[in-house]
């Protein structure tokens, strides 16, 4: 059985659609809301999600909080602004959850103003003992046998406007720079190295998203 987990903050415009998009193939929808100032929590609750409130510290810990609130063995981690292709919905209903597999990596189609930017893979379906290690650009740890969901028509869709993507990059960069200053002051060299790497990745993403494709 599958628990879908979503973390939210002021996602009112996506709240109804994301719940209805996944409701047919998961057994539970867990939403962890970071005390939104809009009606996000009320809307997702109205359409069947179980809602928890938790102050946002960082992305990794917020996702781990959601996993801990889920009831089922398999976790489907999805963002409020993502949608599932019809084939993905069908496959997630029928997928044979092999005991040898800990997780499934799914194609992730990223669009900016409806222009396809990149199609990486995203590990978003995994056993509940998986956990998020990093605070930003977080990845799932604790899994041994991860396989690709091979159907090319099974994918997540992530579509943002250029304005939304710029706002997202600004927010991420602020978090990165704050943490660089923090860990430099604390002389936490491992964390400092991670956030300097995150800043380089952020700049690469900005070039891909905002220059080459828009």
Continuous H helices in the chain = 12-22, 40-46, 59-69, 86-94, 162-186, 189-207
Q: How far apart are CA 192 and CA 195, in angstroms?
A: 5
- In this structure, what are the phi and psi dihedrals at residue 24, rounded to the nearest 5 degrees? -75, -15
Residue 136, pLDDT score: 73
Averaged over 142-151, what is the pLDDT? 91
Q: Looking at 5-9, 95-99, 210-214, which range is the least confident one?
A: 210-214
- In this structure, what are the phi and psi dihedrals at residue 54, rounded to the nearest 5 degrees? -155, 130
Three-state DSSP class for 138?
A: coil
Residue 207, pLDDT score: 81
Mean pLDDT score of the chain: 91
Characterise 113 by phi-psi region: left (phi > 0), alpha (psi -120 to 50), beta (else): left
Q: How confident is the model at residue 165 (pLDDT cuts 50, 70, 90)?
A: confident
Q: How far apart are CA 210 and CA 214, in angstroms?
A: 6
Percent of the chain with pLDDT over 70: 97
Q: How confident is the model at residue 212 (pLDDT cuts 50, 70, 90)?
A: low
Best-predicted range by mean pLDDT (26-40, 152-166, 183-197): 26-40
Q: Looking at 6-15, 102-111, 169-178, which range is the least confident one?
A: 169-178
Indicate whether 178 pLDDT > 60. yes
- Kindly list the distances between the CA atom of residue 79 and the CA atoms of 28, 82, 195, in Å, as whole numbers in the listed order: 15, 5, 23
Tokens of 144: 């041994």
Averaged over 54-78, what is the pLDDT? 95
Name residue 112's beta-bridge partners: 115, 160
Indicate whether 213 pLDDT > 60. no
Indicate whether 187 pLDDT > 60. yes
Residue 214, pLDDT score: 44
Kind of pairing between the strands at 82-84 and 155-160: antiparallel
Averaged over 168-175, what is the pLDDT? 88
Averaged over 168-197, what is the pLDDT? 90
């Amino acid at each position: 059985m599958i628990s879908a987990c979503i973390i939210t903050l002021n996602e009112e415009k996506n709240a109804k659609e994301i719940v209805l998009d996944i409701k047919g193939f998961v057994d539970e929808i867990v939403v962890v809301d970071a005390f939104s100032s809009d009606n996000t929590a009320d809307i997702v609750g109205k359409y069947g999600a179980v809602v928890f409130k938790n102050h946002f510290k960082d992305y990794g810990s917020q996702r781990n909080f959601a996993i801990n609130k889920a009831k089922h063995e398999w976790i489907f981690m999805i963002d409020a602004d993502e949608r599932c292709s019809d084939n993905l919905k069908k496959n997630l209903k029928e997928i044979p959850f092999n005991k040898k597999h800990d997780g499934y990596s799914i194609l992730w189609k990223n669009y900016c103003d409806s222009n396809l930017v990149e199609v990486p893979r995203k590990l978003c379906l995994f056993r509940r003992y998986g956990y998020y290690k990093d605070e930003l650009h977080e990845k799932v740890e604790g899994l041994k046998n991860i396989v690709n969901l091979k159907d090319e028509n099974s994918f997540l869709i992530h579509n943002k406007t250029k304005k939304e993507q710029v706002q997202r990059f600004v927010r991420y960069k602020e978090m990165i720079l704050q943490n660089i200053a923090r860990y430099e002051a604390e002389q936490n060299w491992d964390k400092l190295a991670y956030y300097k790497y995150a800043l380089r990745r952020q700049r690469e993403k900005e070039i891909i998203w905002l220059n080459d494709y828009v």
